[in-house]
Amino acid sequence: MTESSVSGSVRQNWSLILLFTVLSTVGIALSTGHLNLGVVDTKDTAAGAVAVPTYVYLYSSLGALGYIFTKLMSHLEYYDEASELDRLIQLALRIPVAWVLGSGTYLLSTVMLPASAPSSARFTAGVAFLVGLYVNVTMKSLGSLADRLLGRGKTS
């Protein structure tokens, strides 16, 4: 690989990361109803509105930040070089991933949680925090749930 092709692919990667982050941010604004474009019903919450409360994004972000800080503090010696920027970016990208997974988990919580589970905002915020803290576990769990819902699970 030539140096120009490497720098071109790096620019392309940064462009994609920026694009996905912007799309995630727009998705947040739309899903919370803050843009008032009529995409989600925020007025009739009793009839099953699909708006995601803003606190879900806040607490999933805090969970992701909790993971990032824990990782940095427990392996601080690995991040002492300026060349470790890629690793830091990889950690930072957990935040927009947590937004997407947090909103999906919130929307699917009626399927995922038993009927006896508390439905308070505090409980929902706690689940969002755990989603952000355990992004990899959440991805695997949601993937497994999707397989079961779509009939692609293991057959006995």
**Tens of pLDDT, residues 99-109:** 999 998 888 88
Alpha helices in 44-120 (DSSP H): 54-74, 85-92, 94-107, 109-112
pTM: 0.73
Q: What is the pLDDT of residue 156?
A: 46
pLDDT at residue 51, rounded to an integer: 80
Residue type for position 5 = S
Check residue 33 and give its pLDDT: 77
User: What is the mean predicted confidence (pLDDT) over 139-145?
Assistant: 87
Question: What pLDDT is attached to residue 31?
Answer: 81
Looking at the chain, the whole-number percentage of residues with pLDDT higher than 90 is 22
pLDDT of residue 122: 87
Centroid of chain to Cα 23: 13
What is the per-residue pLDDT for 47?
47
Residue 10 one-letter amino acid: V
Structural domain boundaries of the chain?
3-149
Q: Which two tokens stand for residue 153?
A: 């699970």
Task: Say which residue the tokens 């006995």 belong to.
Answer: 156
Separation of CA 16 from chain center: 17
